[in-house]
Amino acid sequence: MKFHHLGIETTDLERSISFFKRFGFQVEQKVTLMGESLVFLTLDDFRLELTQVESLGESTSTIHFALEVKDLEQSLEKLGEDIVVNEGPYNLENGWKTVFIIGPNGENIELLQVN
């Protein structure tokens, strides 16, 4: 068994696609399944599925996904001033640096510098 993808529901597919392209994601494919519009994005070996929905329910999830970056501060600058920081940035005891940002659908995204 191996990991295939992480799915995120969105009320605005194009806005979400544009947001994740800022991280380097590329559109792999667009499909319609049982009336739902789906878009698969890839970043190296990681695959993200965006699903168009009418509305988003209130999430109480603490689930997040992490993207490893070479330089945390430089990555935040590149993403732009409109990025919403939820938590951090932090310098961890093991030398890592991390920050949590909010995606366009309320998802938590961790940026992690490990060197």
State residue 60's pLDDT score: 52
pLDDT in tens, the chain (115 residues): 677 789 888 889 999 999 999 999 999 999 988 788 999 999 999 999 998 888 776 655 567 788 999 999 999 999 998 899 998 999 988 899 999 899 988 888 889 999 8
42 plus 91 within the same structural domain: no
| pTM for the full predicted model | 0.76
43 plus 67 within the same structural domain: no
Amino acid, single-letter form, for residue 12? D
How many domains, the chain? Answer: 2
- The whole domain housing 19 covers 1-54
Last residue of a domain, one of 54, 76, 99: 54
CATH number where 1 lies:
3.10.180.10
Contacts of residue 14, defined as CB under 8 A and 6 or more positions apart, other chains included, come to none
State residue 106's pLDDT score: 85
State residue 45's pLDDT score: 92
112 plus 75 within the same structural domain: yes
DSSP bridge partners of 90 = 98
Residue 86 buriedness (CB in 10 A; 0-12 / 13-18 / 19+): middle
